[in-house]
Amino acid sequence: MDKNNSGNLEIEILEYNKSMRKNIIEFYQGLPAEDVYKRFFGVCKDFECYVDNLERRDGIILVARHGKKIVGVCEAYPVNNHEWEVAIIVDKEFRRKGVGRRLLTEIALRIRDVGGRILFGIISRANTEAIKACMKLGCKAESYDYQTVKLYYVLP
């Protein structure tokens, strides 16, 4: 995963903290409906409530920032001692510039540091963009159900 092709884009990868609350809510609220569907597997409207939950959960949340603007978020939560479920979204304007790779590389390092061994995400079969990106990042895919695939990455 560790290739940085964000060129001269000034992107910082930071751990989420409560001072970013307003910005992360604005980021999620500003997503087009199709991206909300891809990321949340359905309609999510109450992002204040979503962020309340995110702040309470025991996970790792990284944001990609361009100046003060949040342009990507990657969330990971442990499901058992070794496996972590990961979800990611990058602002459409900032895709294909290495932001997703940087978020996933950083979160993978942090997960490894706390003893995790496998990262996985469940993705709609129709979400070919994310499937192609994850395969390029070294993930493997297995059928999960008729609508979804499980993409997973075994940490080296």
Ligand X SMILES: CC(C)(COP(=O)(O)OP(=O)(O)OC[C@H]1O[C@@H](n2cnc3c(N)ncnc32)[C@H](O)[C@@H]1OP(=O)(O)O)[C@@H](O)C(=O)NCCC(=O)NCCS
Cα four-point dihedral sign 129, 43, 40, 140: negative
What phi and psi, each to the nearest 5 degrees, are found at residue 148?
-130, 160
- 95 lies in the binding site for ligand X (CB under 6 A): yes
| 93: its two tokens | 């304007």
- 89 lies in the binding site for ligand X (CB under 6 A): yes
Asked whether the beta carbons of 35 and 92 are under 8 A apart, the reply is yes
- 98 lies in the binding site for ligand X (CB under 6 A): yes
Can you tell me the distance from the alpha carbon of 106 to that of 13, in angstroms, rounded to the nearest whole number?
8
- 101 lies in the binding site for ligand X (CB under 6 A): yes
**On the CB side of 61, how many CA atoms lie within 13 Å of its CA?**
16
- 107 lies in the binding site for ligand X (CB under 6 A): no
- 97 lies in the binding site for ligand X (CB under 6 A): yes
Q: Point out which span in 15-23, 45-53, 94-102, 110-118 binds ligand X (CB under 6 A).
A: 94-102
**Contacts with ligand X, residue ranges (CB under 6 A):** 3, 5, 35, 38-39, 87-90, 95-101, 121, 123, 127, 129-130, 132-133, 136-137
